Amino acid sequence: MKLRIAISILLAVQTISQLSAQYQVNGKVTAKDSAPLVGVNITIKGTYDGTITDTNGKFTLALEDEQATLLISYIGYQTKEIEVNKKTPQLSVVLKESVTSLNAVTITAGTFSAGDKKRATVLEPLDIYTTAGSLGDINGALKTLPGTQPASDDGRLLVRGGEAAETKVHVDGLLAAKPYYSKVPDLPTRGRFAPSLFSGTVFSTGGYSAEYGQALSSILILESNDIAIEEITSLSIMSVGGEASKTWCAPNRSTSAGVAYTNMAPYYGLANNRLDWVKPTEAMNFNFMHRQKGKNGSLLKVFSTFDYGVQEFNTSLGNAFTNIDIEGGSAYINMNYSLPVLQNSCLKAGLASTIDNNRQIAGFHRTVDKELNIEGRLSFNHPLSDAVDVKLGVSDAFTRYRQDYTQLNASTYSNARVDDHIAGVFIEPEIRLSAELAVRPGLRYEYSSYLKESSWSPRVSAAYKTGKNSQLTAAWGHFFQNPVIDYLKYTSNLEFEKAVHYLLGYQTGTLKKRLFRAEAYYKDYKQLISYSEYSNNFYNNLANGGHGYAKGIDIFFRDKESFKYTDYWLSYSYIDTKRHYRNYPDAVTPSYIAEHTFSAVGKYFIGTINTQVGATWVMTSGRPYHKEGDTKYMSRKAPYYNDLSLNLSHLTHIGDHFTIIHFSFSNILGREHLVGYQNIPSASAASGYIQMPILPDIKQFLFLGLFISINTK
């Protein structure tokens, strides 16, 4: 009986609750700019019940409980809770954008990235391969971005008035001390790392994070590939050599190894070289990568490359010939371990080591360089709240440099040694004050044991969102760098070189459609290396007495929308820079600078024949050079530079194997790429100096390659 009563009471309660009077709540949900938000989820807290807003941002919801809480939620916005009851009038809800939303402001000052989903992205990873004239070199593709000098006689990255040594390359956050093959007089060099090893590239042309030190002008961050999921064997046959690689996979780990061989001899046999080659470039390269994911969410990445190469040629110095014979090898090993700790925090430890040995004989000068670099780094990333992320870290970069110099026709012998520890500490919070405004103040401390010098670098960057896809960015910071080893080997009685960056930029649009970026900058260089004279292999009065400035505007526009199957980007850079450093008698524009640089890259996909056609056009104003005997230093200008390169990628298959046939042709117009003159003292003192034109070794370069992915399934 009692039970029956109890059950009936229970039923009655339920019935009553169902019978309780219904009422309606109406409302409208908008964003801050009062634009209606469509599809906003309105939930009665703690239940499955609710509704969504219509195309006008309006909603109507039937409620039963006298008091209820509504949750108003929308992707990219902060969820709002509202108490309602029978008497609630028409609701008008304004949602605030969430600071963690994908659309929230991101700091992009000075930064170009390829590969991730961030706002700084201007290129996709594949662009590095498909940019005509880049010849499969990461740097080649980056040189189509504003702020860089094309400098066809160098090959390295020269950023916003900086020399090549002012750009540092990092792989997975660790220093790559020798990112280029050794630079030979008269010849451009190329990047050591194959673009296929990386899935992301971040290229900063200024104002970068306090995480990175020892770079006055720029940093390039390469992120190596993640764990591979598919077994791949690939084979490349090229007009200049061949490559083979294989990737093995298992759950949560992958390993890959590759070997490459380059030999320029067959090609030089056909081409018309300016240099007289005795032993055309021949090189071997190995790479090995391993990735392993742990149960605790940790990730171990091992990345390594090894190479060895030889080359020998005769270059003419006026009437005389000088024989240049080079042999060298390099090993780079990078190990990285990241471990999630606490909640959402991440601890990273890394060790990178470069061993580089080089022997060079130029005429009767024989130089043997041995360099060892080891960098250890520990960093910690911790979100204090949704709006604040803190990054801090310590690092030590050790350099051990030995040089033996001999004059073959005399008994002159000298050696040089540098041992230097550069210790660094940094802290950098990123603060999102709102969905529109983010600030990243940072501080870095460095100490060099060789120079016995320390430096504090404060840096700040900020971004303010002005519209859905547009934002303003600004950055300021102090940057320090040790003088290059060529000077350090003579004395430790030097200081850091210093630069202060100021930059202001604006960007609008998206990479998917059209993207426009413009950035203006000013850089103040201090304590640059100066000397009075270089003679008998010695710098006289070597000191930090130099200074200079660089200012300019960089413009970038990329458009994938306007023309069907066509993707193109345009870059323009204007730079005004002068340096009074080295043995310059005056503040002048250095010889590697072109005042105006314009480049256009276009890609067109012809679906019917599965072929992508690409073209890169680079044009710069003439670079300054000096003629010995002129009263005004560096007062002459080389002719303008104009290069058009084409490439063609045809997608096909050989048997079951996916294949790309790639053909590229640089300097299709066959222009003389004279970028300046070198002054060389002539053999007889009486006739003074000889002016040597700086010209590429080969006028035009043709490349044919076959890239096969072997399908083992």
Partner 1 sequence: MRTIVIILSLCTAQLMHANDYQKAMKENIEKLFKTNNVETLNTIAASFKRIAAVETSEWLPGYYAAYSYARSTHFISESDSIHVQLDKAQAELNGLLESNPDESELYVLQAFIYSLRITNPMSGYKYSNLSNEALSKAEQLDSNNPRVYYCRGNNIYHTPKMFGGGQQKALPLFEKAAELFTNNKNDNPLWPSWGSYHNNQMLAKCKETK
- Consecutive H or E run containing 537: none
Cα–Cα distance list, 271 to 59, 132, 159, 699 (Å): 74, 20, 32, 9
Q: How far is the CB of 655 from partner 1 (least distance, A)?
A: 9
DSSP state of 150: -
Which of 19/270 has CB closer to partner 1? 19
Q: Is 218 exposed, middle or buried (0-12, 13-18, 19+ CB in 10 A)?
A: buried
DSSP state of 265: H
Which of 229/669 has CB closer to partner 1? 229
Contacts of 412 (CB under 8 A, 6+ apart): 405, 406
Phi, psi of 230 (to 5 degrees): -115, 135
Residues for the chain: how many in total? 713
Q: How far is the CB of 432 from partner 1 (least distance, A)?
A: 18
Q: What angle do CA 412, 414, 418 make, to 5 degrees?
A: 170
- Residue 667 CA to residue 644 CA, distance in Å, equals 5
Which of 54/186 has CB closer to partner 1? 54
Which of 77/480 has CB closer to partner 1? 77
Q: How far is the CB of 611 from partner 1 (least distance, A)?
A: 11
Which of 62/75 has CB closer to partner 1? 75
Q: How far is the CB of 191 from partner 1 (least distance, A)?
A: 24
Q: What is the DSSP string of 460-483?
A: EEEEEEEETTEEEEEEEEEEEEPP
- Residue 634 CA to residue 677 CA, distance in Å, equals 11
Q: How far is the CB of 52 from partner 1 (least distance, A)?
A: 4
Is there a contact between 477 and 440 (Cβ–Cβ < 8 Å)?
Answer: no
**Taking the CA of residue 309 as centre, how many other CA atoms within 13 Å lie in the half-sphere pointing to its CB?**
26
Which of 323/659 has CB closer to partner 1? 659
Which of 74/592 has CB closer to partner 1? 74
Q: How far is the CB of 241 from partner 1 (least distance, A)?
A: 26
Which of 468/653 has CB closer to partner 1? 653
Binding site for partner 1 (CB under 8 A): 2-3, 6-7, 10, 39, 41, 43, 46-52, 71, 73, 75, 102, 124, 126, 229-230, 251, 512, 565, 567, 605, 607, 610, 651-653, 656-658, 711
Which of 656/685 has CB closer to partner 1? 656
Q: How far is the CB of 9 from partner 1 (least distance, A)?
A: 8
Is there a contact between 658 and 686 (Cβ–Cβ < 8 Å)?
Answer: no
Which of 4/87 has CB closer to partner 1? 4
Is there a contact between 70 and 81 (Cβ–Cβ < 8 Å)?
Answer: yes
Pairing of strands 68-73, 596-606: unpaired
Q: How far is the CB of 441 from partner 1 (least distance, A)?
A: 29
Q: How far is the CB of 250 from partner 1 (least distance, A)?
A: 9
Q: What is the DSSP string of 566-586?
A: EEEEEEEEEEEEEEE-BT-SS
Sheet with 23-30: list strands edge to edge: 58-63, 23-30, 91-94
Q: How far is the CB of 13 from partner 1 (least distance, A)?
A: 9
CA dihedral sign, ordered 153, 157, 162, 168: negative
